[in-house]
Amino acid sequence: MNRRFACLFLAAACVVLWPCRAPAPLYHVSGEGWYYEPYGQNAHWQRPRAKEQLEVAQRAFDSGDYDTTLHAAHRILRQWPLSDYAPDAQYLVGRALEAEGRDEPAFKAYQAIIEKYPRSTHYNDVLWRQYAIANRFLAGQWFKLWGVIPFFPSMDKTADMFDKIVNNGPYSVVAPHAQLRIGAAREKQKNYPDAVKAYATAADRYYNQATIAADALFREGISYARQAAKAEYDQGTAGQAIATFTDFVTLYPEDKRVPRAQKAIAVLKTEQVRGNFQIARFYESSHKWNGAVVYYNEVLQLDPNSSYAAAARERIEALKPRIQVPTLN
């Protein structure tokens, strides 16, 4: 048995140690995967200087040969990472990946430009390209497992993408739009508290951009209203929704969404009245007469003309004999 094991070990050692030349050098790029450089077939795209190498990458990209683009551009980033041509090479990597439909690694490639080459002439274009990629995921595009297999849509990851864009340039032209999209991603996953925060940030930070601020304030009100609808007795959130819509109507009276905001306020107030009436009924059924009267009075204060107001008045009169009046010592 030991002899057989020794023979197998010797054979394996011979295979491993036998001098050979790798037919396909393999290297890994973080966020993009593994790349092969076929031996003996790369002379057509390898050049001795960075400038010439970039010209090869650009010509390949212009002709739609994205595989060669990636090989040529990555060679610049490996061989001449500090050269003046590295930012353009990194940009071509992103463009080629995006053209191949590999949006997530393309986003990361563009992010590398922001982090490594912040003075790149492609800076603003990169922000808009990242924004376009994130929008595709917001629309439902699936993220890919290992960069290959469509696996799942994710509003968490999408919101993170938009957040990166905002952090890349908080006062860039694209940042206000990206901040709004963070809220939209949170709305899609029905995470209304985080949606409210995202919209409130947009309204506060970009208050001097009327279109952005108005949209943010309106969407903030919508998110508050949807959050309130999920909580049967959350009168506080309904009140915040009403306050937000009221601010919207006051600040942007000419906005075409004002009628929608006013209608939402009316619906929310009706919901508040109904909620307070139900709370009063709950206290009454528990024989907590004082608490019941407090909430019946709240119904009258919120809307004395509502359909619940008459019933609230009747219950207040009926409960008066049972109310405990505090005595002074």
Q: Which numeric CATH code is attached to 21-120?
A: 1.25.40.10
Amino acid 18: pLDDT: 44
**Residue 28 backbone phi and psi in degrees, to 5:** -115, 140
Cα 55 off chain centre by: 36
Amino acid identity, residue 22? A
For 165-177, what is the mean pLDDT?
95
**DSSP-assigned beta bridge partners for residue 144:** 150
Q: Which two tokens stand for residue 51?
A: 């400038």
d(CA 127, CA 92): 15
According to the model, what pLDDT value does residue 270 have?
84
Band (308; pLDDT cuts 50, 70, 90): confident
What CA–CA distance (Å, rounded) separates 95 from 76? Answer: 16
Residue ranges of alpha helices (H) inside the chain are 2-17, 50-62, 66-79, 86-99, 103-116, 123-138, 155-168, 175-188, 192-205, 210-230, 235-251, 258-285, 289-302, 309-319
Q: What is the pLDDT at residue 202?
A: 97
Burial class (CB in 10 A: 0-12, 13-18, 19+), 106: buried
Amino acid at site 6: A
Give me the pLDDT at residue 20, please.
42
Q: Is the pLDDT of residue 15 over 90?
A: no
Confidence of residue 61 (pLDDT cuts 50, 70, 90): very high
- For 69-78, what is each residue's pLDDT tens digit? 999 999 999 9
The structural domains of the chain, with segments of one domain joined by +, span 21-120
Nearest to 244 by CA among 272, 217, 213, 206: 217
Buried b (16+ CB within 10 A) or exposed e, 34-45: eeebeeeeeeeb
Percent of the chain with pLDDT over 90: 57
Specify whether the CB–CB gap between 289 and 323 falls below 8 A: yes
Q: Supply the mean pLDDT for the chain.
A: 85
Run of H or E including 227? helix 210-230
Residue 305 forms beta bridges with which residues? none
**C-alpha torsion angle, residues 291, 294, 296, 302 (rounded to 10):** -140
d(Cα 226, Cα 266) in Å, to the nearest integer?
Answer: 15
Contact 36, 25 (CB under 8 A): yes
What pLDDT is stored for residue 11 in this prediction? 52
pTM assigned to the model: 0.79
pLDDT at 23 over 50: no
User: What is the predicted pLDDT for the residue at 149?
Assistant: 73
Is the Cβ–Cβ distance between 224 and 196 less than 8 Å? yes
Contact (CB, 8 A) for 157 and 166: no
- 126 — phi, psi (to 5°)? -60, -40
